[in-house]
């Protein structure tokens, strides 16, 4: 150890002090560790005399000894039972605790909201697909028929297609004899009507995203009122169980309200952007196809 310190001191100015400081910190941490502290206490208490041993219990106990022993045994028997009860409380299932804290009213309300949210998300995902809004096969076949001047076949193709693009194109071709402007206006009307229907369907997701936190806040108020009622009824020593039940109701309702609102709002924004993109695609494709008939009014005037 002496050689180590000597070599450390002979080291360069930056290495030597660093090694010495590290050793000092290591020794200090060892001295102040819990084990070292206990060892120091034992060392300083060596001079103290050991505690006198308790006198042995007499063999014969007074007449009331049996009763006292029985009471002590009963108290000792009650202690493990209480510990077992606490273990049972700690091992309680999380879901059962949550349902118990929510009560039947909030359980039904949040269950309905969550199921409705999932159903709306699935329904909107199915509705907002390219095959439903603007299928590429329809675009290619419709353009080919227009290039070949097969307008009746093109109209039948668009009419038999249930997509939004098919409805818009069929409406536009059916109004071409009345003029290009009227055909364009009819196409826009169909497009706006379908857009309003899809946005109305998406609006329910936004509604769930807005009311779910409000219901959670309502549950928070109900739970806190229950806790304050337990404090008022208990006086100086309120029931901890009643307080815990009220606080659990407040926290679980807030948690479920946010858990339902977050995916609902996220799904609403994502699907709304998807709808806007498909509507733009339908508008561009339909205008490109119907632009071929822009000279119908001029030919009819001639």
Average pLDDT, stretch 150-155? 88
More confidently predicted of 68 and 255: 255
Q: Is 287 a member of any domain?
A: yes
In a shared domain, residues 123 and 252: yes
Q: Is 9 a member of any domain?
A: yes
What region, left, alpha or beta, does residue 61 occupy, with left being phi > 0 and alpha being psi -120 to 50 degrees?
A: beta
* CB contact set of 105 (below 8 Å; sequence gap of 6+): none
In a shared domain, residues 104 and 25: no
Task: Provide the terminal-to-terminal Cα distance of the chain, rounded to the nearest Å.
Answer: 114
Average pLDDT, stretch 157-166? 88
Question: Which of the four pLDDT bands, split at 50, 70 and 90, describes residue 54?
Answer: very low
Q: Is 39 a member of any domain?
A: no
Is the pLDDT assigned to residue 76 strictly greater than 90? no
Is the pLDDT assigned to residue 247 strictly greater than 70? yes
**Number of domains observed in the structure of the chain:** 2
Rounded CA gap, 294 and 133, in Å?
A: 25
Q: Is 4 a member of any domain?
A: yes
Q: Is 163 a member of any domain?
A: yes
* CB contact set of 295 (below 8 Å; sequence gap of 6+): 180
In a shared domain, residues 229 and 117: yes
Is the pLDDT assigned to residue 258 strictly greater than 90? yes
Average pLDDT, stretch 275-281? 92
In a shared domain, residues 146 and 291: yes
Q: Are 212 and 261 in contact (CB under 8 A)?
A: yes
Q: Is 186 a member of any domain?
A: yes
Give the pLDDT confidence score for residue 276 in this predicted structure. Answer: 92
Is the pLDDT assigned to residue 62 strictly greater than 50? no
Is the pLDDT assigned to residue 171 strictly greater than 70? yes
In a shared domain, residues 4 and 142: no
Q: How many CA atoms lie within 13 A of 174 on its CB side?
A: 13
Give the pLDDT confidence score for residue 67 in this predicted structure. Answer: 43
Q: Is 188 a member of any domain?
A: yes
In a shared domain, residues 158 and 19: no
Question: Which of the four pLDDT bands, split at 50, 70 and 90, describes residue 92?
Answer: low
Q: How many CA atoms lie within 13 A of 155 on its CB side?
A: 11
In a shared domain, residues 1 and 117: no
Give the residue among 129, 136, 139, 123 at the shortest CA–CA distance from 274. 129
Q: Is 62 a member of any domain?
A: no
Is the pLDDT assigned to residue 223 strictly greater than 50? yes
* pTM over cut 0.75: no
Give the pLDDT confidence score for residue 121 in this predicted structure. Answer: 94
Coil/strand/helix, residue 87: helix
In a shared domain, residues 193 and 271: yes
Q: Which domain holds residue 130?
A: 94-301
């Amino acid at each position: 150890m002496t050689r180590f310190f000597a070599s450390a001191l002979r080291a360069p100015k930056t290495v030597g002090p660093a090694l010495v400081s590290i050793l000092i910190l290591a020794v200090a941490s060892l001295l102040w560790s819990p084990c070292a502290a206990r060892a120091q206490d034992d060392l300083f208490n060596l001079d103290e005399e050991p505690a006198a041993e308790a006198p042995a219990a007499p063999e014969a106990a007074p007449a009331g000894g049996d009763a006292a022993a029985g009471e002590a045994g009963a108290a000792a028997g009650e202690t493990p039972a209480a510990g077992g009860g606490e273990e049972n409380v700690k091992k309680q299932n999380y879901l059962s605790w949550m349902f118990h804290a929510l009560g039947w009213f909030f359980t039904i309300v949040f269950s309905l909201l969550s199921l409705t949210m999932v159903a709306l998300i699935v329904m909107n995902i199915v509705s907002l697909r390219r095959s439903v809004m603007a299928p590429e096969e329809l675009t290619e076949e419709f353009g080919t028929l227009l290039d070949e001047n097969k307008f009746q076949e093109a109209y039948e193709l668009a009419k038999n297609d249930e997509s939004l693009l098919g409805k818009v194109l069929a409406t536009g071709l059916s109004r071409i004899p009345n003029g290009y402007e009227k055909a364009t206006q009819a196409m826009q009307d169909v497009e706006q009507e379908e857009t309003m229907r899809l946005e109305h369907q998406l609006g329910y997701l936004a509604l769930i995203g807005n009311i779910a936190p409000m219901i959670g806040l309502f549950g928070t108020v109900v739970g806190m009122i229950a806790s304050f009622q337990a404090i008022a009824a208990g006086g100086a020593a309120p029931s901890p169980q009643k307080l815990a039940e009220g606080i659990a109701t407040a926290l679980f309702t807030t948690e479920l309200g946010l858990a339902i609102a977050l995916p609902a709002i996220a799904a609403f924004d994502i699907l709304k952007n998807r709808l806007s993109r498909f509507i733009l695609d339908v508008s561009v494709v339909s205008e490109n196809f119907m632009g071929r008939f822009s000279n119908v009014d001029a030919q009819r005037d001639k």
